[in-house]
Amino acid sequence: MVFFKMSKYLPIENIIYKTNLSKEQVIQRLTENIETKKSFGIYSKPYIGKIMGNHFEIERAISYRNSFLPQIKGEIYSEFNRTKIEVYMRPHLFVLFFMVIWLGGISMGCLVTLSVLFTGKFEPPFLIPFGMLIFGIALLYGAFKTESAISKRDLMKMLDAEIEK
């Protein structure tokens, strides 16, 4: 439960979909909309990835490069007369690693700038690290959240599902 609360501050999405479709129908709908990854990026279906039993790993099939495209993992459960699909979205691990290193370095620059502030030798260019930090965070969250919103909408439509609150 703590992870779900923390996820609103991290560039990840934890979503639970509920649908009246059976587990088999959900898997069939996913199969109809997913194809395996090819070496050349021309796809006829909206998602690429794989389905392994009740689990799936997918990403949106796009014709351009987007480092912030969500990597989507999901698990399908039968629940009484409904089906529940738990979905986890995050940027690619390399992107997260790069952003942690980059934002960490920029944060160190901000700390150095703050220490300079207390010595009285402040100059306007010292604000650059703060601008870079704000830009980096906005880029990470803005690009990821924009792409994840598209995938959330697609999955709702594809699975005839609603997001559990």
Structure confidence by residue, pLDDT tens digits, 72-104: 999 999 988 899 999 999 999 999 999 999 999
Q: Where are the domains of the chain?
A: 2-94+145-163, 95-136
Amino acid 7: pLDDT: 60
Rounded to the nearest 5 degrees, what angle is found at the Cα of 84, between the Cα atoms of 78 and 88? 130
Global pTM reads: 0.84
Q: Which of 90, 87, 89 is nearest to 100 (CA)?
A: 90
Cβ atoms of 133 and 163 within 8 Å: the answer is no
Helix axes 128-158, 23-33, angle to 10 degrees: 120
Structure confidence by residue, pLDDT tens digits, 32-73: 999 998 877 688 899 999 999 999 999 999 888 888 999 999
Architecture per CATH, domain 2-94+145-163, reads as 2-Layer Sandwich (3.30)
Rounded to the nearest 5 degrees, what angle is found at the Cα of 40, between the Cα atoms of 148 and 158? 35
How much is the average pLDDT of 119-137? 86
Instruction: Quickly tell me which residue has 């594809």 as its tokens.
Output: 158
